[in-house]
Amino acid sequence: MWPVSAAIDPEVGVASTDPLMELRGMTHDPGAVSLIAGPLYHGAPGAWALQGLHHGHCVLLAGRWDSETFLRLVERYRVRTAQLAPIHFHRLLTLPDEVRDRYDVGSLQVVSHSGAATPVATKHRMMAWFGPVLWEYYAASEGFGTSITPTDWLAHPGSVGRADGNGAAMLILDEDGKELPAGETGQLWIRLSATMRSSYLGDPEATAASRRGEYHSVGDMAYLDAEGWLYLVDRRTDMILSGGVNVYPAEVEDALRRHPGVADVAVIGVPDEEWGWRVHAVVVPADGALAGPALAEEIRGFAEQVLAGYKRPRGLEFRESLPYSPTGKLLRRALRDEPSP
């Protein structure tokens, strides 16, 4: 499968750059150092690097990710802003306390992150370490979406913000295109000036399928609260329909990561004659945890305490690592494409 390319009108991107980046903590600060942890060909790190230069920053490229190297660079160059993804937070938090305490990260004023929903517990732990400097936003190559400051996030934990300015608006629709009330999960549709002047290059059918009037969707499932704060749930393509009930892998993964024996986990649906699809967990054991029947039983027992019955994994296996994209997105599809266990 070839990747989909989103063609964006450059006038739209340039015109909206400064006010949107300020919503994400980027300000004019000549001489400040911005650290980029992801590849420049991806929208988020590439845009943050370009905007760092535009705002007078010295842009430092971290290269291949290594958690301790990141901390070393922050301390050595007194890094002011950084652009990360949730997987980087997870890996930083797995460092031993003595390693984390070795480095001074007090120069950080803005750590911008996007790319996937961040577990609430993970973000709380990062703020306890780095301070209230985590600025989150939701966006896609097709256009900007929402932003949330550290202060607003602490008041609305788990949210990715409210619609950015310039006439942006959001709808949550069910499968029939009916707008859902606050608190109910459905497909997220966003109205943005940028997406109205963008398209999927050479694929008019994909462009048409992603549009509903003035609104655009990349297939994310979400809900809005009564005040308009947006909460991501999962990708529609990752949702598991088990026994006629929707199961969102990210919710199950967030719960299982709280077990001390779990370093990382991916949840996928696998075919099942009775249930249609059954919930299956692929677990990376934490350091010192021994993969095997005893740990699997511990995790299942933990799941019984923190998850509703239909959300609990019916299958569980151990791996040394999970597939991630260079930008830190968990590639559940790569696991689904493997033969069913």
Q: How far apart are CA 80 and CA 326, in angstroms?
A: 23
Q: Please tell me which residue, 328 or 319, carries the higher pLDDT value.
A: 319
Structural fold of domain 239-336: GMP Synthetase; Chain A, domain 3 (3.30.300)
Q: How far apart are CA 246 and CA 28, in angstroms?
A: 45
Q: pLDDT per residue over 266-287, tens digit each?
A: 999 999 887 889 999 999 999 9
Q: How many CB atoms lie within 10 A of CB 9?
A: 14
Mark residue 228 as left, alpha or beta (left: phi above 0; alpha: psi -120 to 50; beta: remaining).
left
What's residue 166's pLDDT?
62
The lowest-confidence range among 31-35, 70-74, 302-306, 324-328 is 324-328
Q: pLDDT per residue over 213-245, tens digit each?
A: 788 888 888 999 999 999 998 888 888 988 888
Q: pLDDT per residue over 92-104, tens digit each?
A: 998 999 999 999 9
Report residue 120 as tokens.
């609430």
Q: How far apart are CA 92 and CA 165, in angstroms?
A: 33
Q: Please tell me which residue, 133 or 17, carries the higher pLDDT value.
A: 133
247, 255 Cβ separation under 8 angstroms: no
Q: How far apart are CA 331 and CA 341, in angstroms?
A: 17
Q: Do domains 6-235 and 239-336 have the same CATH topology?
A: no
Q: How far apart are CA 108 and CA 35, in angstroms?
A: 10
Alpha helices in the chain (DSSP H): 10-23, 43-54, 67-77, 86-93, 97-100, 120-130, 150-155, 204-209, 249-256, 293-306, 332-336
For domain 6-235, give the CATH superfamily: ANL, N-terminal domain (3.40.50.12780)
What's residue 1's pLDDT?
39
Full 3-state SS string of 55-111: CCCEEEECCCCCHHHHHHHHHHHCCCEEEECHHHHHHHHCCCHHHHCCCCCCCCCEE
| pTM of structure | 0.79
Most confident of 37-41, 161-165, 173-177, 280-284: 280-284
232, 198 Cβ separation under 8 angstroms: no
For the chain, which residues make up each domain, given as ranges? Answer: 6-235, 239-336
